[in-house]
Structure 1
C-alpha cells in the first residue's frame, strides 16, 4: 500500500475544478496567467483545479470574470461548487427589463436608415428597426406573425434569406462557425444546428476585403452591408448578456441611397 496521501484530481469528483480547467485551457492561459488576471495565487488556483481546495464565491467570480465565461455557464460552475446560481435569467417582459427595452429601442431608432436587429442566444430576431423590416421585404422574406424569425434558419434553409445573398456560401459559413462556437455552452443552440443543413462550403478562401460584407441581390441592384454588434456592458442577468444588436451598415453610396429612400417612403407623412 502506498504511503503517499491521496489527493483528488480534477477528474475525480471535482466538477468545479473540471469546469475551471476546461475554460482556462480553452482560453489558452496557463495557471500563472489566469492567477495574475484574477488576483489569486497560482498555488490556490492549482488546488482549486485539482480539488484540494474549495474556492469561495468571490474567488470563483474573479476567476470566471477573468476568463470571460458567459453568465449562464458561470451559473453551472457555481452549482458544481455547491453554491446557488449567481445570475438570474429574467423574462423579456419582466418589469426590471424596461430600461433594457428603452435602450434597445433608442439604438434601433437611431440606426435608421441603416438596418438593425436584436438577436437572442438562439438567434431569434426579437426586435428590429423600420429599415430592417424594409430590407427583409426587399429580400422577399416575410416573417410570420405567430413566431419570431430565426436568423440562422433563414440563412441556412432553402428559400430563406440565404438564397438572396450573392455571397451565400461565405455568409452561411461565417454564421455556422459563429453559432458552433456559441453552441459549446448552449445545448439548445447545439440541437438547432443539428437540425439545420450544414453549409456545403465551410472552408472559404480569405476575402481581399478587411471585413466580410453581406451582399444582397434586390430589385434595386446589389446592396452591400458590413456588420457590427452591440452588446450590453457589465450585464448581471443571463437574458441581458445573451442579447446583441446587429447593425447592417451600408458599405457603399448606392446602398446608403437605397436604404434612405426606403426608410423615407415608410416614414413619410400622408
Structure 2
C-alpha cells in the first residue's frame, strides 16, 4: 500500500478523474472505502475516475474532503473538470486576508524577544518579528540575500548560516525530513521536489536521510548555533491556520523559535545585545 508519508510525485495536466484517482491512490484508499466515506456509489466513483462521468462541483468537494486534498490542488481539479476555482489565492496583505494578517502579526510580535517567522509552503519568508532578522544578522549580512528569502537556503548555503550550525549532518537530515513531512497534504509537489533537489545540490549534504548517528534523547532535535562567544540550542514550533478556506490561509506557516535549555535562555539576552551585527536588513 502506498502511504502519504513516502509519496513524492508530480501532478501533470490531466482530467479531473485522473487527478482524483491519483489522490485516492496516494491516500491508499480503495474505491469502496471512498464510496462509503462520501455516500457516492462505487460505480459512480469508478465512472468519474475513468472519465465516463463528469463530477459535479459538490461531488469534487465531497471526494476532496474525504481524500484530504489541499486547496490549491482542489482548484486544479475544478479547472480540469471545467469549473472555476473555488478557493481564493489572495496574498496575505490583501483586504480579504486582513483578519488572518493581523493575527499573524500579533503572533510574531508577541513572541519577542525570540525569532518568529511567517513562511509560505515553500519556506519563503513572508514576514517576521523584529528579533528574527536581528538574530540572523548576528551571523550573516541578510542584505546580501534578495527577497523573498528562503529559510532553508539560508541554512544550507555554505556562505550563509551553515558555518554556524553544529552537528551539520544531523541538522541537514532533520530539515530535509521536515520538508517532506510538512508538505501540504503530506505530498511533495513539483516545487517541493525542486526545492529538495536544490538543497541536496549543496556540498556536503547527506544523501541518505536514514544514516548517521542516533539523535540525543530529547523530545525534539534542536538547532545548535555556535559563535566565538556563545552556543545556542533552539527548537521551533509550527503554527497553522485551523479550518482554512483560502489557499494562502492553508499554506502559511508560522515558525516560532524557543530556547531548548536553561543555558541558552540565560545567554540569549547577551547574545542579542551585541553591537557587532553583520547587517540590519529584515528577511
Cα deviations across residues 15-45 of structure 1 (Å, max 9, x unaligned)? 2121111111212222233333334333332
Cα deviations across residues 83-125 of structure 1 (Å, max 9, x unaligned)? 1111121133322222222100111122223321111123111
Of 200, 206, 213 in structure 1, the residue corresponding to residue 206 of structure 2 is 200
CA distance in 1, matches of 2:41, 2:21: 15
Unaligned runs of 5+ in 1: 1-12
1:81-120 residue pairs with structure 2 within 5 A?
A: 81-120=81-120
Label 1:90 to 1:17 Cα distance change in 2 as closer, same or farther (>3 A).
Answer: same
The residue aligned with 2:234 is: 225
- Contact 1:224 1:252 survives alignment (8 Å): yes
- Larger mean CA deviation between 232-241 and 36-45 belongs to 36-45
- Larger mean CA deviation between 43-52 and 172-181 belongs to 172-181
Label 1:116 to 1:39 Cα distance change in 2 as closer, same or farther (>3 A).
Answer: farther
Shift of residue 175 of structure 1?
A: 2.7
- Larger RCO (alpha carbons 8 Å, 6+ apart): 2
Cα deviations across residues 168-215 of structure 1 (Å, max 9, x unaligned)? 222222333443574966444444444442523432444243322211
- Contact 1:90 1:97 survives alignment (8 Å): yes
| Greater C-alpha radius of gyration | 1
Cα deviations across residues 3-25 of structure 1 (Å, max 9, x unaligned)? xxxxxxxxxx9721211111112
CA distance in 2, matches of 1:28, 1:111: 40
Label 1:121 to 1:103 Cα distance change in 2 as closer, same or farther (>3 A).
Answer: same
- Contact 2:135 2:272 survives alignment (8 Å): no
The residue aligned with 1:215 is: 224
The residue aligned with 2:10 is: none
Unaligned runs of 5+ in 2: 1-12, 276-283
Q: Secondary structure at the match of 1:91?
A: coil
Coordinate RMSD, CA, aligned:
2.8
- Larger mean CA deviation between 203-212 and 214-223 belongs to 203-212
Label 1:202 to 1:220 Cα distance change in 2 as closer, same or farther (>3 A).
Answer: farther
1:63-74 residue pairs with structure 2 within 5 A?
A: 63-74=63-74
User: Matched residue pairs, number?
Assistant: 254
The residue aligned with 1:3 is: none
CA distance in 1, matches of 2:126, 2:69: 24
1:138-177 residue pairs with structure 2 within 5 A?
A: 138-144=138-144, 147-177=147-177
Q: Secondary structure at the match of 1:249?
A: strand
- Larger mean CA deviation between 197-206 and 182-191 belongs to 182-191
CA distance in 2, matches of 1:255, 1:195: 32
